[in-house]
Structure 1
Amino acid sequence: MAAVDLSQTLSDLDKSLASIEAVADMPKLRNDLAELGEEVGAPDLWDDQDNAQRVTSALSVKQSELDRLVGLRGRLDDAAMMLEMAEEEGDADTRAEVERELKKLSKDIATLEVRTLLSGEYDSRDALLTIRAEAGGVDAADFAEKLMRMYLRWAERHGYAVEVYDTSYAEEAGLKSATFSIKAPFAYGTLSVEQGTHRLVRISPFDNQGRRQTSFAGVEVLPVTEETDSIDVPEGDIRVDVFRSSGPGGQSVNTTDSAVRITHLPTGIVVSCQNEKSQLQNKAAALRVLQSRLLEHARIEREKEMNALKSDGAGSWGAQMRSYVMNPYQMVKDLRTEHEVGNPEAVFDGEIDGFIDAGIRWRKQSQISAGS
Structure 2
Amino acid sequence: MHELDLSADIQALRTTFDNILDVVDLDARRREIDELEQEAADPALWSDQDNAQRVTSQLSHRKAAVRKIESAVSRLDDLEVMVELANEMQDEDAAAEARTELADLGKTIQDLEVQTLLDGEYDERAAVVTIRAGAGGDDATDFSQMLLRMYLRWAERHGYPTKVLDTSYAEGAGIKSATFEVDVPYAYGVLSVEAGTHRLARISPFGSADKRQTSFAAVEVIPLMEEATEVEIPENDIRVDVFRSSGPGGQSVNTTDSAVRLTHVPTGIVISMQNEKSQIQNRAAAMRLLQTRLLLLQQEEEAAKKKELAGTITASWGDQIRSYFLYGQQLVKDLRTGYEMTQPDQVFDGDLEGLINAGIRWRKRSDDD
Output the TM-score relative to the length of structure 2: 0.91
In structure 2, how many angstroms separate the alpha carbons of the residues matched to 1:356 and 1:222? 16
In structure 2, what is the equivalent of residue 299 of structure 1? Answer: 299
* Structure-2 change in CA distance of 1:335 and 1:313 (3 Å): farther
Deviations 1:300-344 (A, max 9, x none): 133234439999998513111111112343211111111112222
In structure 1, what is the equivalent of residue 30 of structure 2? Answer: 30
Deviation at 1:76, TM superposition (A): 1.0
Deviation at 1:289, TM superposition (A): 2.4
Q: Is the 8 A contact 1:312 1:367 kept in 2?
A: no
Q: Is 2:177 the counterpart of 1:177?
A: yes
In structure 1, what is the equivalent of residue 63 of structure 2? Answer: 63
* Structure-2 change in CA distance of 1:90 and 1:205 (3 Å): closer
Q: Is 2:226 the counterpart of 1:264?
A: no
* Structure-2 change in CA distance of 1:360 and 1:40 (3 Å): same
Q: Is the 8 A contact 1:312 1:366 kept in 2?
A: no
Deviation at 1:51, TM superposition (A): 3.4
In structure 2, how many angstroms separate the alpha carbons of the residues matched to 1:308 and 1:2? 63
Deviation at 1:176, TM superposition (A): 1.1
* Structure-2 change in CA distance of 1:55 and 1:310 (3 Å): farther
| More deviation, 103-112/153-162 | 153-162
In structure 2, what is the equivalent of residue 128 of structure 1? Answer: 128
* Structure-2 change in CA distance of 1:39 and 1:160 (3 Å): closer
Deviation at 1:8, TM superposition (A): 1.2
In structure 1, how many angstroms separate the alpha carbons of the residues matched to 2:309 and 2:192? 16
Q: Is 2:246 the counterpart of 1:241?
A: no
Q: Is the 8 A contact 2:229 2:291 kept in 1?
A: no
Q: Is 2:212 the counterpart of 1:216?
A: no
Q: Is the 8 A contact 1:231 1:294 kept in 2?
A: yes
Q: Is the 8 A contact 2:58 2:185 kept in 1?
A: no
Please state whether the residue corresponding to 1:101 is helix, strand or coil.
helix
Q: Is the 8 A contact 1:303 1:309 kept in 2?
A: no
Q: Which residue identity lines up with residue 103 of structure 1 in the other structure?
A: A
Deviation at 1:249, TM superposition (A): 1.8
| More deviation, 96-105/223-232 | 223-232
* Structure-2 change in CA distance of 1:178 and 1:279 (3 Å): same
In structure 2, how many angstroms separate the alpha carbons of the residues matched to 1:310 and 1:354? 34
Q: Is 2:191 the counterpart of 1:191?
A: yes
* Structure-2 change in CA distance of 1:229 and 1:312 (3 Å): farther
* Structure-2 change in CA distance of 1:312 and 1:356 (3 Å): farther
Q: Is the 8 A contact 1:321 1:336 kept in 2?
A: yes
In structure 2, how many angstroms separate the alpha carbons of the residues matched to 1:50 and 1:309? 42
Work out the number of aligned pairs and report it.
369
Please state whether the residue corresponding to 1:338 is helix, strand or coil.
coil
Q: Is the 8 A contact 1:313 1:363 kept in 2?
A: no
| More deviation, 317-326/280-289 | 280-289
In structure 1, how many angstroms separate the alpha carbons of the residues matched to 2:64 and 2:218? 33
Q: Is 2:342 the counterpart of 1:329?
A: no
Deviation at 1:88, TM superposition (A): 6.0
* Structure-2 change in CA distance of 1:39 and 1:345 (3 Å): closer
In structure 1, what is the equivalent of residue 282 of structure 2? Answer: 282
Q: Is the 8 A contact 1:130 1:221 kept in 2?
A: yes
Deviations 1:266-288 (A, max 9, x none): 43211111233322232123223
* Structure-2 change in CA distance of 1:234 and 1:68 (3 Å): farther
* Structure-2 change in CA distance of 1:313 and 1:276 (3 Å): farther
In structure 2, how many angstroms separate the alpha carbons of the residues matched to 1:341 and 1:302? 37
Please state whether the residue corresponding to 2:6 is helix, strand or coil.
helix
Deviation at 1:210, TM superposition (A): 2.3
Deviation at 1:141, TM superposition (A): 1.2
Q: Is the 8 A contact 1:241 1:260 kept in 2?
A: yes
Q: Is the 8 A contact 1:312 1:363 kept in 2?
A: no
Output the TM-score relative to the length of structure 1: 0.90
Q: Is the 8 A contact 1:204 1:213 kept in 2?
A: yes
Cα RMSD for the two superposed structures: 2.7
Unmatched 5+ residue regions in structure 2? none
| More deviation, 43-52/26-35 | 43-52
Unmatched 5+ residue regions in structure 1? none
* Structure-2 change in CA distance of 1:302 and 1:56 (3 Å): farther
Please state whether the residue corresponding to 2:52 is helix, strand or coil.
helix
Please state whether the residue corresponding to 2:219 is helix, strand or coil.
strand
In structure 1, what is the equivalent of residue 15 of structure 2? Answer: 15
In structure 1, what is the equivalent of residue 118 of structure 2? Answer: 118
Please state whether the residue corresponding to 2:7 is helix, strand or coil.
helix
Deviation at 1:246, TM superposition (A): 2.1
Q: Is 2:352 the counterpart of 1:352?
A: yes
Deviation at 1:172, TM superposition (A): 1.5
